[in-house]
Amino acid sequence: MAGKLITVEGGEGAGKTTQLAFMRDYLERAGHRVVLTREPGGTALGEEIRALLLGHRHDGMAPATETLLIFAARAEHLERIIRPALAAGHWVLCDRFTDATYAYQGGGRGLPPERIAVLENWVQSDLRPDLTLLFDLPVAVGLARAGRRGAADRFEREEWAFFERVRAAYRERAGRNPDRYRIVAADRPVAAVRAEVETLLAAWLERV
Ligand code: TMP
């Protein structure tokens, strides 16, 4: 039986990494083999592309270049990790995926979503996440949390309005795809967020 692709999205400082670890444990306890991975990255080449995207050597990178690099990393990730894992019946838990491109490059950078859709269809064919959790929180709260983690990467250095556009794009996509998305209020204590995530995973597991 083919596995499932679950993706986790959210703005800066949303607490994805912490919740992903809980989610992996939860799904393993439910009897699934879980592959935890991330974008951009997840492969040796993808991690090199990630370093180009997040580092400051190319601060003025054009939005189209940025988007193509992200999809180059994604193509590698799909080919080497995601598709083989799904074919083997494993569940793939991915820290960000193409919804992030619609939010950051579409909403944030202003790239037309139709252009992103062309790349999505080309690189992914008909592969789409089975479930997406959006950890949503006010920009001010997220940036304050992310600021405590150390030096800002190329995205974290963006202006406030950029993150407001990212958040709005995520929420708009989630609103249009209620079957696939679950929105989780992430500006709460870790334990409260975890409890809600476990409840909604349990409900979702009943259906699949
Ligand atoms: P992370 O900090 O959650 O690992 O994400 C790395 C950064 O990459 C984050 O600022 C969002 C950005 N990103 C995009 O802009 N587009 C994408 O498609 C993905 C996957 C990430």
Confidence of residue 94 (pLDDT cuts 50, 70, 90): very high
Confidence of residue 49 (pLDDT cuts 50, 70, 90): very high
Confidence of residue 2 (pLDDT cuts 50, 70, 90): confident
Calculate mean pLDDT across residues 122-134. Answer: 98
Ligand 1 atom closest to the CA of 40, numbered from 1: 20
CA of 208 to the centre of ligand 1 (A): 28
Q: Does pLDDT of 148 surpass 90?
A: no
Domain count across the chain: 1
Structural domain harbouring 186: 5-205
Confidence of residue 149 (pLDDT cuts 50, 70, 90): confident
**What is the Cα–Cα distance from 24 to 116, expressed in whole angstroms?**
29
**pLDDT for the residue 147:** 86
Q: Is 104 in the pocket of ligand 1 (CB under 6 A)?
A: yes
- Which residue is closest in CA terms to ligand 1's atom 19? 100
**pLDDT for the residue 1:** 63
CA of 1 to the centre of ligand 1 (A): 31
Ligand 1 atom closest to the CA of 16, numbered from 1: 3
CA of 38 to the centre of ligand 1 (A): 9
The CB density around residue 85, as the number of other CB atoms within 10 Å, is 19
Residues 29-45 have pLDDT tens digits of 999 999 999 999 999 99
**pLDDT for the residue 88:** 98
Q: Is 100 in the pocket of ligand 1 (CB under 6 A)?
A: yes
CA of 2 to the centre of ligand 1 (A): 27
- Which residue is closest in CA terms to ligand 1's atom 13? 100
Residues 67-77 have pLDDT tens digits of 999 999 999 99
Higher pLDDT, 147 or 198: 198
Ramachandran quadrant class, 206 (left: phi over 0; alpha: psi -120 to 50; beta: rest): alpha
CATH code for position 38: 3.40.50.300
Calculate mean pLDDT across residues 94-98. Answer: 98
**pLDDT for the residue 10:** 97
Under a CB-based contact definition with an 8 Å cutoff, are residues 135 and 184 in contact? yes
What is the per-residue DSSP string for 141-170?
HHHHHHHTTSS--TTTTS-HHHHHHHHHHH
Calculate mean pLDDT across residues 169-176. Answer: 98
For the chain, the average pLDDT equals 97
Q: Is 96 in the pocket of ligand 1 (CB under 6 A)?
A: yes
Q: Is 101 in the pocket of ligand 1 (CB under 6 A)?
A: yes
Coil, strand, or helix at residue 134?
A: strand
